[in-house]
Amino acid sequence: MTKNIKLNMSRRIRRTPYTNRVEEHGVSDFTVVNHMLLPKGFKNSVEEDYWHLSKEVQIWDVSCQRQVQISGPDAAALIQKLTPRSIKTMETGKCFYIPMLNENAGMINDPVLLKLDDDMFWVSIADSDILLWAKGYALGLNLDVNIEEPDVYPLAIQGPKSEDLLVSIFGEEIKKIKFFNFRVVDFEGTKQVIARSGYSKQDGFEIYFKVHEKYFDKVEMGEKLWDTIWEAGKKFNISPGCPNLIDRIEGGLMSYGNDFTGENNPLECNLEKYCKDDVSHDFIGKQALSKIKNEGIKQKMMGIIFDGDPCPSIGQPLQVLSKDNKKIGQITSGIFSPRIKKNIGLSMILKEYWNVGESVFIQTLDGGKRNGTITSLPFPD
């Protein structure tokens, strides 16, 4: 019999400037990412939240996307050491998705990089301690950089009405922000970064709210930003939300630590375009990645559509079997898609079986089997 298990909210698990508001709006679940609370659900079901996200606008507390600020004369040199993706042509105001590798070419993070100036970057990280990793390499290479975690708390505005909502607050300049670009806007006399980005397949923005301690209390200022957006959003049918599992899987958006780990290389994760052969710069894991390219990968991330009754959010991996009952992968993220009207999932699949249209079995936790099909990512419309 399942027991109700509570999370002990010690000081090691950090609240955010928006946690009070999240609780007031009826948050039902939290998880912890980068030692910080991340809302995982509200009163609506995942499916109700999915349909609202696809038609309206939502506000998400994603403060757990911590920033690693790297600044100083050697900032760009250190960033380039940390990723196979070249930042040579990156302009101020741009956002780059960058795989970060260990010495064996294993993925240790897949952050978004923001270039604030030629000698100032924010690395918006997934759930691993890149701050210490970057500090270690900077010390080892004797680079002239300063590395810290700034007081920045991202707030995501996601959904097709997100642009109209932010225009009503910050003006027409919002429309000029292109995908994976950012601009600096004024809010209550402070300068704030707004990027057209987000962890959904919908249009949306992320406000990298930076605390100005000289003028405001962190929680007071964060709640003022939340309240401003919430009040303006009422006419757009705004709702509190969080990264939606259905939307994420349909969009082929992977979750570090869940769908891939340091045991996986970027080629297995379909990130070849960020690991080009013609780059001249050195980076951590370069030799190992070159060897993997020459030998070829043995598995890669694919989508799976499978039959049967609607499955809830998958808490434990489901085995993927070939038609001759060989284990060829496991679904690490899965749920029922009301749009596709079938269950969908993400899985690393062995090379011999990763062809689109390949028939497979999905073994459920009760030992049953369901028919499935390999598909491309993102899932077809």
Confidence of residue 214 (pLDDT cuts 50, 70, 90): low
Give the lowest-confidence range in 14-18, 276-280, 349-353. 276-280
- 302 vs 214, which has greater pLDDT? 302
Q: What is the pLDDT of residue 50?
A: 98
296: left (phi over 0), alpha (psi -120 to 50) or beta: left
Give pLDDT tens digits for 308-363.
Answer: 999 988 889 999 999 999 999 999 999 999 999 999 999 999 999 999 999 999 99
Q: What is the pLDDT of residue 229?
A: 98
- Domain covering 248-375 assigned CATH 3.30.1360.120 in the classification: yes
CATH class of this structure's domain 67-148: alpha beta
Q: What is the pLDDT of residue 215?
A: 61
- Phi and psi of 64, rounded to 5°? -65, -15
**Residue 2: pLDDT above 80?**
no
Give the lowest-confidence range in 72-76, 104-108, 211-215, 372-376. 211-215
**Residue 213: pLDDT above 90?**
no
User: What CA–CA distance (Å, rounded) separates 20 from 230?
Assistant: 14
Are 19-65+151-247 and 248-375 equal in CATH topology?
Answer: yes
Mean pLDDT of the chain: 95
**Residue 1: pLDDT above 90?**
no
Report which of 107, 118, 34, 35 is spatially closest to residue 79, judged by C-alpha positions.
Answer: 118
- 2 vs 346, which has greater pLDDT? 346
For the chain, the helix, strand and coil percentages under 3-state DSSP, each to the nearest 5: 25, 35, 45
**Token pair for 112:** 């978004």
Is cis: bond before 378, omega within 30 of 0?
yes
Architecture label for domain 19-65+151-247:
2-Layer Sandwich (3.30)
**Token pair for 289:** 């990645």
Q: What is the pLDDT of residue 246?
A: 97
DSSP structural state of residue 260? B
Average pLDDT (150-172) is 98
Average pLDDT (254-260) is 96
Confidence of residue 8 (pLDDT cuts 50, 70, 90): confident
**Domain assignments of the chain as residue spans, ordered by start:** 19-65+151-247, 67-148, 248-375
Q: What is the pLDDT of residue 5?
A: 59
The crossing angle, in degrees rounded to 10, of helices 162-170 and 218-233 is: 120
User: What CA–CA distance (Å, rounded) separates 318 from 257?
Assistant: 16
Average pLDDT (4-18) is 81
DSSP-assigned states of every residue in 45-85? -HHHHHHHHHHSEEEEE-TTS-EEEEESTTHHHHHHHH-SS
Give pLDDT tens digits for 30-84.
Answer: 999 999 999 999 989 999 999 999 999 999 999 999 999 999 999 999 999 999 9
Q: What is the pLDDT of residue 217?
A: 83
